[in-house]
Structure 1
Amino acid sequence: MRPEVVIFDIGNVLIAWQPERYYDRVIGPDRRRALFAEVDLHDMNEAVDRGADFRETVYACAEAYPHWRDEIRMWHDNWLELATPAIPRSVRLLRALRAQGVPVFALTNFGVGTFALAELAYPFLTEFDRRYISGQMQVTKPDAEIYARVEADCGIAPEALLFTDDRADNIATASGRGWQTHLFEGPDGWAQCLVSVGLLSEAGAA
């Protein structure tokens, strides 16, 4: 069936999210590998995405590893340099859908504090019809609860939702609930998907 709503993930779909790339540039690949091997920074970030205070969480982690204190604090102090750049064609697709009157939602693992920063830096994040932010909901993908809460809030049948995300585990949960899904591997494939389901023309998806 033709989807009624399109749901975007944000990280690596609309905005690049590659912390390792930032650390490679700032401290070098060897030190970055040593840091990430010793400190589970992605687990730290997961706590933020579940609603923990951004600064307190990062700074507490930094104090737990004092020999990496400065590097860990960069996750907070230079966060926008970790979440960059925007992915221009994905942003165009978001706007093309809205121009066609297609409701567009966000469903994203994002902290309350980090999303506030991102929203200022990337104004297109204000353009969604509805936004489901894990830090505000205090549950993250791929937990089935967050998908169930989206369904309950929007009142749209799962099979009428089309969701794109760059992580296969997030896609698998959505698909298991009956959502239409697309594993995001780049904006070109996503554009082709939107054309194939009849939401955009070839010209509109260009």
Structure 2
Amino acid sequence: MTVKAVIWDIGNVLIGWDPRRFYDARIGPDRRRALFAQVDLHGMNLRIDRGAPFRETVEALADAHPGWASEIRMWHDNWLEFTHPMPRSERLFEALRRRGVPVFALSNFGRGPFELARRRFPVLDRFDRVFLSGDLRAIKPEPEIYETLETGTGLPPDVLLFADDRPENIDTARARGWRTHLFDGPEGWAARLVAEGLLTEEDIA
């Protein structure tokens, strides 16, 4: 069966996202490690990914940890500084569009952060459709969010090719019958797109 659509994770597949790098530069590696050990920033971010309001969720955690309040508020106020372009991935995305291949996003991403990201990365507005955890109130690797994409696109699992950088997200997709690619860099992803007949060597040069 020929691949009929390519599904992209966003963070660290299409655009870079690395809060640790930001905090290392802003407050130093030692203080950053202490912050991440003492404050559940990961849990806060998961709540935002599930649809909790961005600013209010960050402020609530800052209020709960007054000794770290200014650093926690950076998660909202400096969020765009967590991001960086991935030009090679963007070129692959645009090559697929030029070839007429439908491209969908399936991403754990809060609506508030996503709106910020759209300001910096116009590529996020060029998907055929975006399936965002913050809108759907489900996150990968929960099966519900994959099912929503299948229903929303009207495509069967075996014609979908999905790239994600998290093995657990790939595992759920594969169990549903999707074709998958564990993303560890754009070169491997480029080779996979060529192997599937979606792009040519000239497209990825």
- 1:53-72 superposed matches below 5 A: 53-72=53-72
Residue matched to 1:8: 8
Say whether 1:105 aligns with 2:101. no
Once the two structures are superposed, residues 155-197 of structure 1 have per-residue CA deviations (whole angstroms, 9 ceiling, x without a partner) of 1010100000000000000000000000000000000000001
Letter in 1 for 2:21: R
Instruction: Please list every run of 5 or more consecutive structure 1 residues that lacks an aligned counterpart in the other structure.
Output: none
Say whether 1:159 aligns with 2:158. yes
Q: Find the aligned partners of 2:61 and 2:15 in 1 and give their Cα distance.
A: 25
Question: Counterpart of 2:204 in 1: which secondary structure?
Answer: coil
- 1:120-135 superposed matches below 5 A: 120-135=119-134
TM-score if structure 2 supplies the norm length? 0.99
Residue matched to 1:94: 93
Superposition deviation, residue 40 in structure 1: 1.4
Q: Is the 8 A contact 1:2 1:199 kept in 2?
A: no
Say whether 1:25 aligns with 2:25. yes
Residue matched to 1:144: 143
Q: CA RMSD in A?
A: 0.6
Residue matched to 1:38: 38
Question: Counterpart of 2:60 in 1: which secondary structure?
Answer: helix
Q: How many residues align?
A: 205
Superposition deviation, residue 17 in structure 1: 1.2
TM-score if structure 1 supplies the norm length? 0.98
Instruction: Please list every run of 5 or more consecutive structure 2 residues that lacks an aligned counterpart in the other structure.
Output: none
Q: Find the aligned partners of 1:108 and 1:138 in 2 and give their Cα distance.
A: 12
Superposition deviation, residue 2 in structure 1: 2.2
Q: Is the 8 A contact 1:184 1:190 kept in 2?
A: yes
Q: Find the aligned partners of 2:99 and 2:15 in 1 and give their Cα distance.
A: 23
Q: Find the aligned partners of 1:86 and 1:138 in 2 and give their Cα distance.
A: 27
Q: Find the aligned partners of 2:91 and 2:43 in 1 and give their Cα distance.
A: 32
Residue matched to 2:202: 203
